[in-house]
Amino acid sequence: MENRFRAGQRVMIREKKLKEIKPWLRWCIGLCLPLLAILAFIYIKWVGIGMICLFYELTGLYCPGCGSGRAVTALLQGKVGTAFSANILLFLLGIPSAAVFIHEYLRLVFPKLGLRPVYIPQWAVRLCLGLILAFWVLRNIPAFSFLAPAG
């Protein structure tokens, strides 16, 4: 089982570690994460996320995360266009990351489903880091102002 892990790949939870997790902890995680997600959904939908970016406050430049609070708030309010223009990177990387996270959650909480771990190749990790860096630089250049957080 453990031999499935290949060099140069990343996996969130290895199968050996997964088997060591106590049932009470699986129950706790299985109940707490959805409860937290529901509470966060309710809070963000009606109150929104009013975060201040320290990087932006200090430098006047946008970081890769600038606008993500507005994007999540807009997304939960059903305003997909607003969310897209607030932080496009959230869609490019956030949605696949959320899919992997949900898969790993199901694998952790329901081991009898027999879900295999998600192997993330090293090139994909490098591609994501490259995207984040490129997005960070480009959204601060006036010619690419469409990448800056709107709203």
**Scanning residues 11 to 40, which ones bind Zn ion (CB under 5 A)?**
none
- State the distance between the two ends of the chain, measured CA to CA, in whole angstroms: 49
Name the residue whose CB lies closest to Zn ion: 53
Provide the minimum distance between the beta carbon of 140 and Zn ion in the complex, in angstroms, as a whole number.
11
- 53 near Zn ion, judged by CB under 5 A: yes
Provide the minimum distance between the beta carbon of 88 and Zn ion in the complex, in angstroms, as a whole number.
14
Q: Measured on CA atoms in the order 66, 43, 82, 91, is the torsion positive or negative?
A: positive
- 56 near Zn ion, judged by CB under 5 A: yes
Binding track over 92-111 against Zn ion, x by CB under 5 A: --------------------
- 84 near Zn ion, judged by CB under 5 A: no
Provide the minimum distance between the beta carbon of 135 and Zn ion in the complex, in angstroms, as a whole number.
12
Note the residues at the interface with Zn ion (CB under 5 A).
53, 55-56, 63, 65-66
